[in-house]
Amino acid sequence: MDERIPRMKADILKALAHPTRVSILECLRQGERCVCEIIEELDMEQSNVSQHLAVLKKLDIVDSRKEGLRVNYRVKYPEVFQILDLLDGVLVSQVEDTMTTLKGLRKKKDGLR
């Protein structure tokens, strides 16, 4: 395998490995959005959102388009949403495993009474 491929994959995962960037991507799931709309929805400072959008843009995950004074962003590759959906599935499985463990502890605790 070309040694650059794992590095490229890791770079994409690093870009997704920040809660603010995940929130921005979830916001963009609804379609193209102006920075002002993203800021309002996420209740964050414009400079903070812009920095995170720059990271996503540098790695070619989002695309921007200027419309007058507005800058609109969109996710360039819809497969990004599949990654986020897979992560949702992992989270659900982890919570279910934790709940099963806690139920076992509850039964053990109740048996000691």
User: pLDDT tens across 60-88, in order?
Assistant: 999 999 999 999 999 999 999 999 999 99
pLDDT at 9: 92
Asked whether the predicted pLDDT for residue 113 surpasses 70, the reply is no
CB 35 within 8 A of CB 49: yes
Distances (CA, A) of 63 to 46, 54, 104: 18, 10, 48
**What band does 111 get if pLDDT is binned at 50, 70 and 90?**
confident
User: pLDDT tens across 18-73, in order?
Assistant: 999 999 999 999 999 999 999 999 999 999 999 999 999 999 999 999 999 999 99
- Burial of residue 37 (CB within 10 Å: 0-12, 13-18, 19+) is middle
